[in-house]
A and B are shown apart, each in its own frame.
Chain A
Amino acid sequence: MKMVEVKLKLKKKPKFPLEADSITPDNFAGKTLAEIKKLPLYHARELITIGEFFDVTGKAEDVSNTKIIIDGDVSKVKRIGEKMTGGEIIINSDVGMHVGNTMSGGKILVKGNADDWAGAMLQGGELEIEGNAGHYVGSAYRGFWQGMKNGTIRVKGKVGNESMLWAKSSKPANKWPTLYCGGASSFLGLHNHGGTMVVEGDVDRCIGADQIRGTIIVKGNISRILPSFKKLDDVNEITLPNGEIMTGKFAQYSGDHSVSKETAGRLYVAIK
């Protein structure tokens, strides 16, 4: 599909974080540049417009073939890509909180670090972060007991605490929320209901806490496995729910047994 590009360049540094949930292919589709510049932006308690903080060039078409490219330091710009259903966003710097939250389609690429809540409540689509991400990657928002339901998040670097909190998969609907990351802090996969997590590097403590079912694979070191996880036989191959096959020698654990005596939840730690 031939993509058309809308280029946004941050023209001045915001004094307070900006809330830019209007920056999505869905909101730009079918609009002229003048209309895009008038879309709302929040700067602390001031309601302003995209045009006040961004130079806007290029053109937008339909949701599915609109690509938004963002230049300038948007590390304090929150909510970019919120609820989008298609199209692409490329962010050429660090990005603020809530990037790609609740999106259900399309792709976001962050060429830098992301702040907390990246990909929260993801319903589909792809979020890729080349740097590190903050806490709550792919997690449920406060008070929600079902979080990421589908889609894929890839973080080259490390994710913070409580990533993939309350993730929920669905076998009948073939929805397998998945996180690939380079490392993780604590509580990865907390309250997991079927999410898949593959960590290339090291993780901290309490991985898979309160897991009901799901698959967590750690290829690096794990600082401390929860006492409620029980060791099963080693494996040479793991088949992920989304079909992918991982080969290598892994120690296999079932857990979290603090939630139930028998469980389909699994934690795999590579044997070096």
Chain B
Amino acid sequence: MSLTNLILLTGRTINQGVALEGGKVTKENVRAAGICTFDKDDFKKLDSIAGTPVKVTTDYGEVMVYSTITEEGPHPGIIFIPMGPWSNQVVNPDTQGCGTPTYKGMKAKVEIVKDGKVLDALELIGKLKEVQK
């Protein structure tokens, strides 16, 4: 099941902040930042249970993350991934000449992937390194 025409926002959460101070390469960090938060009604359309991996795709890349339901809604049409290695696979790197990437407001689509593998931070970032060797 999939949803299109979404807008992806990214940002800080307190759990992501705690996890990043505790060790960015831990499993705790995956559960804090490797997630995509949905509006309750939007998620119903995906006909799945919260926690199932979803693939989020934008014009700039794709990433597999765990799905969760928002506590900061309703926000139909908007999905939220905390800042970090997962969101950075799909944000807009274009700074429009001002230096700061456009981390918020990308058009996105999501797809449930029941047996999708959500990588931890090191594996995910590691993929950017392997290409060289």
Contact = CB atoms under 8 A, between A and B. Distances in A.
B101 to A, nearest CB: 15
Interface string A134-166: 111000000000000000000000001110000
A156 to B, nearest CB: 21
A123 to B, nearest CB: 22
A116 B96 CA distance: 10
Interface string B58-92: 00000000000000000000000000000000000
A235 to B, nearest CB: 33
Nearest to A139: B97
A162 B96 CA distance: 10
A126 B123 CA distance: 53
A160 B96 CA distance: 8
B interface majority secondary structure: loop
A243 B99 CA distance: 39
Nearest to B95: A135
A161 B97 CA distance: 8
Contacts of A135: 96-97
A59 to B, nearest CB: 38
A116 B95 CA distance: 12
Contacts of B97: 116, 134-136, 160-162
B126 to A, nearest CB: 27
Interface string B93-110: 000110000000000000
A116 B98 CA distance: 11
A135 B99 CA distance: 12
A190 to B, nearest CB: 12
Interface in A195-237: none
A134 B97 CA distance: 9
A147 B97 CA distance: 17
Interface string A27-39: 0000000000000
Contacts of A160: 96-97
B1 to A, nearest CB: 32
Interface string A96-140: 000000000000000000001000000000000000001110000
A267 B97 CA distance: 25
A219 B130 CA distance: 49
A70 B83 CA distance: 45
Nearest to B97: A135
A204 to B, nearest CB: 11
Interface of A: 116, 134-136, 160-162
Given A135-B97, A161-B96, 6 more contacts: A134-B97, A136-B97, A160-B96, A160-B97, A161-B97, A162-B97
10 contacts: A116-B97, A134-B97, A135-B96, A135-B97, A136-B97, A160-B96, A160-B97, A161-B96, A161-B97, A162-B97
